[in-house]
Homo-oligomer: A and B are copies of this chain.
């Protein structure tokens, strides 16, 4: 089941640089784990923003919620979730 998730990241000016680096590394590791598992199916940078557009493939709403809430950078994110489904015109199973 697919969801469109937009994440804007805002780390405040003056936030401890080492802690920020640690959180970003943890975020990247967690992201790659979910990408390898096929859960975080797509991710793109939004040009000019510290933000991404992503597609998640999960078994339930609850699974998506748990994944998002436990992201290392979650406390710095503004998140918008949109439920998606297969488009009837598509020639393949667009995931």
Which residues of A are at the interface with B, using a C-beta cutoff of 8 A? 1-5, 12-13, 15, 27-28, 31-32, 35-36, 42-50, 52-53, 55, 60-62, 64-65, 68-69, 75-76, 79-91, 94
Besides A13-B15, A27-B89, A61-B84, 19 new A-B residue pairs in contact (Cβ under 8 A), listed by A number? A2-B61, A4-B44, A13-B75, A13-B76, A42-B42, A42-B55, A44-B55, A44-B84, A44-B87, A45-B88, A46-B82, A47-B82, A47-B84, A47-B85, A48-B79, A48-B80, A48-B83, A49-B81, A81-B83
Task: Specify which of A1, A48, A81, A88 lies most central, judged by the most chain B CB atoms within 10 Å of its CB.
Answer: A48
> Which residues on the B side are within 8 Å of A60 (C-beta)?
1, 85
Chain B residue nearest to A66 (CB atoms) is B85
